[in-house]
Each structure stands twice: as C-alpha cells, then as structure tokens.
Amino acid sequence: MPRAVREQQMLDAAVRTFGQRGYMAASMDEIAELAGVSKPLVYLYLNSKEDLFTACIRREAQALTEAVRAGARPGLPADRQLWSGLTAFFAHTARHPDGWAVLHLQARTHGEVFAAEVAAMRAEIVAFVTQLILAAAREAHRDPDLPEREVSGLAEALVGAAESLADWANATPGATARQAAATLMNFAWAGLGNLMTGAVWSPPEEEGGDAGDGDEGGPRQAGRTSPVR
C-alpha cells in the first residue's frame, strides 16, 4: 500500500482519536490500532506524537479555511458572502466534528506551539471577515474609515460567536448549518449596520469603583441610542 494513502489513514485515525479522547488521553496505541497499522509505522511516518498532532491541526485547518473560502464567492455582495461563508463554515464543522474538536478545543489547550498553529488559521479568518465588513461599509456608501480597533474587535466577536454556535449546533440534534448561519446573521448584521451609521450603543458613564470581587456595579445612567428602538 502506497505511503501517501497510509499516511492519510493515520491522520484520519489520529484526528478522530484526538478529537474524541483529547490530545493527552489519546494513546499512540489506540491511534495505530484505529488506523489498522502497527505503532512503529506511525512513528516512521509521522515522527512523534507532537508532530502527528501538528499534522492533524494543519490538515484540518487547511480543510476548514478552504471550505470557508470556497463557500464565500468573491462576486457577491458582502452580506451574501458572509452568509455563504458562515453556512460553509457550519456545514464543515458539522461534517467534521472531530476535526473541529481538534482545532477548537484540543489545539488551544495543549501548549503554545499548537495554539499558535490554530491562531494563525483564526487570524486568517478574522482578516477575511474584517475585509467583508469593510466591503459592506463601502457597498453601503458609508464612511469606510471605521476605526481599526472597532472593526477587528467586531470580527473577533463574530468569529467567536460562530465558533461557539458551531459547538452548539454539533451538540444540538436537528440543528442545521443554515439555521446556525441565519441565527448569526440576524444577531450580527443589524449591529454591524448600525455601527456603520454611527448609531453606536454607548456604555453608561463610569461610576465610583466598588469593592467585592471588583466587578463593577450596575451603571446609573444610560446613554443608549437606537437599540430596542
């Protein structure tokens, strides 16, 4: 059996095992057995547990970003791109729950090296989303000079919400990618639109610090604008 094929089998087995058991609880024995090969062969091809895990992360990260990019077709309006990108994202994470667990849970929990690997992927996606937001602003003929920090924070929040919803969709039987995407669009799109119109929600003024855990008390005066309307 050719080497490349075997290697993919091993990665399949590894992703599944890492995703379900966790990085540390997964044993090379189990992975080898699931792949249908002997342990030494896994080491021969993939060097070490760390390298194997890294290979899993890379493969799954690439698969995910490619799925998202393939979903969001460049020609469409920004909101449609966002919509289809999100749908592709939820569809992919639903189809590859173990890969998603490897990326979202395992890689971030077991050492800086692995975390950096996913962080790179995430940064790429966040940048992509940031571009979409800016494009949307342009399309809406709004001021495209949105503050850098705001937009990147928003993109962070959007991606974070998406990640979280992916978990929720995976854990909720019957939840579809379209539902998850629609929920997120509803949740986020109007907020983004408002932001572009300058109709921001302003926090109440700071009040005197209180004791206790240090969590500040409730605000006294609101300065809200549009929300709830």
Partner DNA sequence: GATGAATGAGATTTCATTCAT
Partner DNA sequence: AATGAATGAAATCTCATTCAT
* Residue 226 interacts with its own copies (CB under 8 A): yes or no: yes
SS3 sequence of the chain: CCHHHHHHHHHHHHHHHHHHHCCCCCCHHHHHHHHCCCHHHHHHHHCCHHHHHHHHHHHHHHHHHHHHHHHCCCCCCHHHHHHHHHHHHHHHHHHCHHHHHHHHHHHHHCCHHHHHHHHHHHHHHHHHHHHHHHHHHHHCCCCCCCCHHHHHHHHHHHHHHHHHHHHHHHHCCCCCHHHHHHHHHHHHHHHHHHHHHCCCCECCCCCCCCCCCCCCCCCCCCECCCCCC
Total interface residues for its own copies by CB under 8 A: 90
Smallest gap from residue 53 Cβ to DNA (A) = 9
Question: Which residue stretch of 9-17, 30-38, 51-59, 108-116 sits at the interface with its own copies (rule: CB under 8 A)?
Answer: 108-116
Distance, in Å, from the CA atom of 198 to the CA atom of 212, rounded to the nearest integer, reads: 36
Q: Is 3 in the site for its own copies (CB under 8 A)?
A: no
**Which residue stretch of 3-11, 32-40, 46-54, 158-166 sits at the interface with its own copies (rule: CB under 8 A)?**
158-166
Nearer to DNA by C-beta: 49 or 92?
49
Contacts of 220 (CB under 8 A, 6+ apart): 204, 205, 207
What, of DNA, its own copies, none, does residue 38 touch, CB below 5 to 8 Å by kind?
DNA
Residue (98 or 126) nearer to DNA, CB: 98
Pick from its own copies, DNA, none: which does 26 bind, CB < 5 to 8 A by kind? DNA
48 binds DNA (CB under 7 A): yes
Residue 188 CB neighbours (<10 A): 18
Tell whether residue 136 is a contact of its own copies (CB under 8 A).
Answer: yes
Selected range binding DNA among 42-50, 99-107, 133-141, 148-156, rule: CB under 7 A: 42-50
Among the listed ranges 39-47, 79-87, 154-162, 182-190, the one in contact with DNA (CB under 7 A) is 39-47
Under rule CB under 8 A, which residues in 9-68 are in contact with its own copies?
A: 22-25, 63, 67
Question: Which of 46, 177, 208, 211 is close enough to bind its own copies by CB under 8 A?
Answer: 177
161 binds its own copies (CB under 8 A): yes
Q: Which one of 12, 20, 33, 39 is in contact with DNA (CB under 7 A)?
A: 39
Q: Cα–Cα distance between 132 and 129 in angstroms, integer?
A: 5
Smallest separation, CB 39 to DNA (Å): 5
